Amino acid sequence: MTERQGGPQVRRAIVSGSAFEERIGYARAVVDGDRVHVSGTTGFDYAS
């Protein structure tokens, strides 16, 4: 979690455990106070 400067609000990343999340710091969504920021996601074929 990353604390926002100037206030007590905390950002919380919503992740699924994908290898991409750890490798590049990707998060499917971020909860920031009373807001939720959702990223675009697509399917990925891990077998190929």
User: Looking at the DSSP assignment, which residues form a beta bridge with residue 36?
Assistant: 31
Q: What is the pLDDT of residue 22?
A: 84
Q: For residue range 1-42, list pLDDT tens digits in order.
A: 554 556 666 789 888 888 878 888 888 899 988 899 998 877
What Cα–Cα distance (Å) separates residue 6 from each residue in 9, 10, 11, 27?
9, 11, 13, 24
Q: What is the pLDDT of residue 44?
A: 76
Q: What is the pLDDT of residue 5?
A: 58
Decide if pLDDT at 47 tops 60.
yes
Q: What is the pLDDT of residue 17?
A: 86
The predicted model scores a pTM of 0.57
